[in-house]
């Protein structure tokens, strides 16, 4: 059932990545919505790995994605941000 939370977090992140929801960006200084996407992806993948008879070491791949997703609520490299967000950051500088 944890995958439902992960899917909801991914949906919020997708709204940010697609640009349908931009009011949270605060002039290109906030990354938290993008981090929610990656954190949700890690949760969904981890729940899939745990629900299948996969090797135990495979759990660490989505666990690292979730951990990096949680850390990316503070910063993401420009390559992982959408074009509209990069343009917003350039206009701020």
pLDDT tens sequence across 10-54: 999 999 889 888 888 776 667 788 889 999 999 999 999 999 998
Mean pLDDT for the chain overall: 87
The first and second tokens of residue 90, run together, are 């350039």
pLDDT the model gives residue 23: 81
When divided into structural domains, the chain yields a total of 1
Domain with 42 in it: 2-92
Does the pLDDT value for residue 6 go beyond 90? Answer: yes
Q: Where are the alpha helices (DSSP H) in the chain?
A: 2-18, 32-51, 60-71, 83-92
Higher per-residue confidence, 91 vs 16: 16
Half-sphere exposure of residue 72, counting CA atoms within 13 Å on the CB side? 23
CB 80 within 8 A of CB 63: no
């Amino acid at each position: 059932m944890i995958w439902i939370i992960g899917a909801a977090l991914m949906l919020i992140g997708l709204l940010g990545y697609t640009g349908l929801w931009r009011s949270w960006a605060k002039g290109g200084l906030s990354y938290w919505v993008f981090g929610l996407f990656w954190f949700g992806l890690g949760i969904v993948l981890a729940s899939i790995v745990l629900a299948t008879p996969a090797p135990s070491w495979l759990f660490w791949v989505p666990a690292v994605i979730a951990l990096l997703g949680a850390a990316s609520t503070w910063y993401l490299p420009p390559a992982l941000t959408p074009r509209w967000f990069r343009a917003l950051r350039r206009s701020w500088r």
